[in-house]
Each structure stands twice: as C-alpha cells, then as structure tokens.
Amino acid sequence: HCSERTFVAIKPDGVHRGLMGRIIARLEDKGYSIVALKLIKPSKTLAESHYEALQSKPFFADLVAFITSGPVCAMVWEGKDVVAQVRKLIGNTDPLTSAPGTIRGDFGVDIGRNIIHASDSISSAKREIELWFHTQDLIEWNPTLHEWIYE
C-alpha cells in the first residue's frame, strides 16, 4: 500500500484535560501508525505560520495566543487515506456540529477550545509536517500489525 502522512496536534486544552492518551488510542485503534511525536510550547512565529491562511480572521490573535500557551502534542501519523480519515475522526471544526463519536463531538463544546488540529489536505499536511518537524525526526518503521489492517 502506498502510505500517506498527516500532521495532527492536540491543542493546549486537550493536553490540560488529559485527553492525549485517549486521542492517540483512537488513531492507533483505527489502524494508523505514529511517525513522530513531541510535546512543544510553540513560538508565536510557528503558530502564525501554521495558521497563516487565517491571518485576516477576527479570531486570529486569540487563536495564536491560545496555541502558544502550550503545551501542544505535535504528531505525524501515517496510513492509507490518513488525511481525510483523520479529519473524519476529529469531526467538524465547531463542536456544536461535530457528530458524537468524533473527537470534537465527544470531548468539546466551544469552537475556540476544539481540542485537536489535523491537516485538511495532502498539500497542507506536507507544509505542516515540514513546519513542525525535521525530516530526521520522522521515524520509518513497519508495524507488525499491518498485514491484519491492510489487504
């Protein structure tokens, strides 16, 4: 199978609320594998570049202040269709409309405290992985369970 990668970040609210383990377990349970993981207090420059497409939004300053408050659990996940599938697993941006069973639907209430980020396309995944990680920190490994997850 040809593998795809996505960037996922548990935001400060998710870390403070002790949701890291449960969120990682959901992605592992689905069948994806983790390629990189770090706990980081992002700089203002990193947060602003990460959310550069939202610069003109009225909530931009609050969003950057929230993300830089840290800690953020930054990760890279790999697997078939991982970008679109992780977006499905996290749910809609606003927890008011994200379905029960999704991470935002199960754990969140407010759009500005929606627990988790995941790349929205293959091209933003590439950009975000390069922004948050050095290439040498992405671990190449072959999970032994793969033959039971992929046909």
Residue 117 a catalytic site member: yes
The answer to the question of whether 93 is labelled as a binding residue is yes
The answer to the question of whether 133 is labelled as a binding residue is no
Give the shortest CB-141-to-ligand DAT separation in angstroms: 28
Q: Which is nearer to Mg ion, 113 or 149 (CB)?
A: 113
Residue 124 C-beta-side C-alpha neighbours within 13 Å = 16
| CB-based burial label for 45 (10 Å; 0-12, 13-18, 19+) | exposed
The answer to the question of whether 113 is labelled as a binding residue is no
Sites of contact with ligand DAT (CB under 6 A) = 54, 59, 63, 93, 111-112, 114, 117, 120
Q: Which is nearer to Mg ion, 44 or 57 (CB)?
A: 57
Residue at shortest CB range from ligand DAT: 93
Which residue in 1, 117, 134, 146 is the catalytic one? 117
Residues designated as active site: 117
Which residues here bind Mg ion, judged by CB under 5 A? 120
